[in-house]
Amino acid sequence: KFRHLPVVENGEVIALLSISKCLYDVIARMERAVEKGKAIAAAIEGVEKQWGTSTS
């Protein structure tokens, strides 16, 4: 199993990429996107209540 990948530039290893760190970073980004989506949905719901309209 590989847990780290070399980052190569011009034939020289310049860094190591941690697979688990990348995975955790992606999960964190997805969680933030979900929270932003929930905030947008709540804002739309608030506008619908205030205006007495519904888009659904």
| Spatial distance between the Cα atoms of 53 and 35, rounded to a whole number of angstroms | 24
pLDDT at position 2, please?
83
Residue 52's SS3 state is coil
pLDDT tier for residue 1 given thresholds of 50, 70 and 90? confident
- CA torsion 50-52-55-56 (nearest 10°) is 110
* DSSP code at position 11: T
**Chain-centroid distance, C-alpha 47:** 26
Instruction: Sketch the domain layout of the chain as residue ranges.
Output: 4-51
CB 18 within 8 A of CB 2: no
* DSSP code at position 53: -
Give tens-digit pLDDT for 3-49: 999 999 999 999 999 999 999 999 999 999 999 999 999 999 999 99
